[in-house]
Amino acid sequence: MMTQEPDVYLAVPSTPKRVGTPLPLISVPPTGPPRSSAHEDFYCRQIMLWRRHLDLPEEDITVVGGVPVTTVLRTAFDCAFDEPAHNALAIADAALRLYCRSQPNDHRAYADAEKRARDTWQEWLQRSPHRRGIAQARAVLEAATPLADSPGESVMRWLTLVLGLAAPQVQYRVSDHASMWWLDLCWPEHGIVIEVDGRVKYNTREDAWQEKLRQDAIQAMGWRFIRVTYGEFRDLRALADKILAAFPPGVVASLRPNRVLLRPGTRLESGLCEGSMLGLRRR
């Protein structure tokens, strides 16, 4: 997930009037992973508990660390309705990756598992035609892929879909006479590549040098690189303009933004929204 709030779906019986599951105190610092805390500190976030009553069969429930929770596919399905779309897509991508155990160079290894997952989601969608958020859920689950390597890649793909661009190829393989590489996101018909990078990718000078050689070789094959850092997600409008500037004017002029993947009442200028969609008032 790209926004900071810790989200978890707990599965509890509907008959008790009070749930005794304790919620941990979590400190979310500006850098580094969230951590449990014995006492409140400056970086502790208030936990909002939103409840949705669903009648789930036993096969949709599993136990993790002694706590009953929804299965990975069920969790991604419910998040597709309730989370902001960029988070929902990152969760659905991660769920598919976990379920399929995919490898980018071994399509047969995950094809059957991916089909089972998608068939399951489709069956659940057919059972929920009037559930709030159904349009977003359909769009998110259709766009999900087990090949996304990081939440950043998922959110970048979400942004391109919001802009109305065709769905990019993910982990697309290219090669020359000596080497083979995979591209994060690309549009082969336009020769455009988007790579989402974080600092951890360049721990040493050798890492940076090898990445330069990789990019030089791929560019020599006619590809155009657009590199995106995580900090650029703070200004979605500027990032969108950067992406669109790489595409032919005719393509950009014909785009139709996909409003289904934007939170109701928001624009790109609103930034990445936090919080469950359950907190929105019904109109």
Q: What is the pLDDT of residue 22?
A: 62
Q: What is the pLDDT of residue 108?
A: 73
Compute the distance between CA of residue 234 and CA of residue 254 in angstroms, rounded to an integer: 26
Q: What is the pLDDT of residue 101?
A: 80
* Domain assignment of residue 123, yes or no: yes
pLDDT in tens, 221-261: 899 999 999 889 999 999 999 999 999 999 999 999 999 99
Q: What is the pLDDT of residue 17?
A: 46
* Domain assignment of residue 160, yes or no: no
Residue 40, domain extent: 1-147
Pairing of strands 192-197, 224-229: parallel
* Domain assignment of residue 45, yes or no: yes
- Which DSSP letter does residue 282 get? P
pLDDT < 50: residue spans in the chain: 1-2, 4-6, 15-18, 282-283
* Domain assignment of residue 183, yes or no: no
Q: At what angle do helices 85-100 and 151-163 cross, to 10 degrees?
A: 130
Q: What is the pLDDT of residue 18?
A: 47
As beta bridge partners, residue 27 has 35, 44
Q: What is the pLDDT of residue 107?
A: 66
* Domain assignment of residue 26, yes or no: yes
Q: What is the pLDDT of residue 4?
A: 46
pTM value > 0.85: no
Structurally, the chain folds into a number of domains equal to: 1
